[in-house]
Amino acid sequence: MQKVIALDGPSASGKGTIAARVAAALGWAYLDSGALYRLTALHAQNHNIDWANEAAVAALAAELPAEFRGQTVWLDGQDVTQAIRSERIGMGASAVAKLLAVRQALLQRQRNFLTAQGLVADGRDMGSTVFPEAQLKIFLTASAQIRAERRAKQIGVPLDGAAFAQILADIQARDAADRSRPVAPLQQLPDAKLLDTSHRSIEETVQQVLDWYQA
């Protein structure tokens, strides 16, 4: 058993927020594995490397000059905390995350986040590949409607117009693509606990994770 809580779930399920808060509550380290794929995509873009060029992107990922400092993320000595959150880099992250050689290049780096205290790890293959011996695995989800409503509120979109319908359609399309992708598909592992946050607050969700861990 590894002192790891692994969290996965569909896009916009709030796993990053929950994982960071659980880590803070336990005094454990936190791994935002999606950030590593975003950093890889940005690094490739900065080097004019096509996101589909598996060997070249994997070589960059293996030597990624990235650092996490508190709440900030740095690449090549530059603060890229905001830059990696753009829609475009999100698409790039999704493209490079499909490449097996890139996933392999990032594997050990992710495992190095585990400290003696423990680690909360957020991302697609945390429980299946990176930390298969994790003490607790959680599949965090919420209905597509609720996830779309949360996203719309975040960016100030009314819940009754065409813009909202588009957000919901995007989330549904993203779910379908994530479930059917051949590499690291979105799935609930047989040994993962299902945590549906549709009718739970952030605090209640964090508490449920802590209760399971302490049980």
Binding residues for ligand CDP, rule: CB under 6 A, are 11, 33-34, 37-38, 90, 93-94, 97, 123-125, 184
**Segment holding 166, helix H or strand E:** helix 162-180
Q: Given the DSSP bridges, would you call strands 134-141 and 193-196 parallel, antiparallel or unpaired? A: parallel
Q: Which is nearer to ligand CDP, 49 or 73 (CB)?
A: 73
Structure tokens belonging to residue 210: 């802590």
CA-closest candidate to residue 175, choices 183, 163, 187, 164: 187
Looking at beta carbons, which residue is closest to ligand CDP?
34
Work out how close the CB of 184 gets to ligand CDP at its nearest, in angstroms, rounded to a whole number: 5
Q: Which is nearer to ligand CDP, 12 or 209 (CB)?
A: 12
Q: Which is nearer to ligand CDP, 184 or 210 (CB)?
A: 184
Work out how close the CB of 123 gets to ligand CDP at its nearest, in angstroms, rounded to a whole number: 3
Work out how close the CB of 61 gets to ligand CDP at its nearest, in angstroms, rounded to a whole number: 12
Work out how close the CB of 54 gets to ligand CDP at its nearest, in angstroms, rounded to a whole number: 14
Geometric angle at alpha carbon 21, from 15 and 25, rounded to 5° = 140
Q: Which is nearer to ligand CDP, 93 or 105 (CB)?
A: 93
In sequence order, which residues have a C-beta less than 8 Å from that of residue 197 and are 6 or more positions away?
A: 13, 14, 18, 140, 141, 142, 146, 205
Structure tokens belonging to residue 208: 């449920």
**Which residue in this structure is represented by tokens 């790891």?**
4
Evaluate whether 145 touches 122 at the Cβ level (below 8 Å): no
Q: Which is nearer to ligand CDP, 141 or 215 (CB)?
A: 141
Measure CA 72 to chain center: 16
Q: Which is nearer to ligand CDP, 133 or 161 (CB)?
A: 133
Work out how close the CB of 109 gets to ligand CDP at its nearest, in angstroms, rounded to a whole number: 12
Work out how close the CB of 105 gets to ligand CDP at its nearest, in angstroms, rounded to a whole number: 13
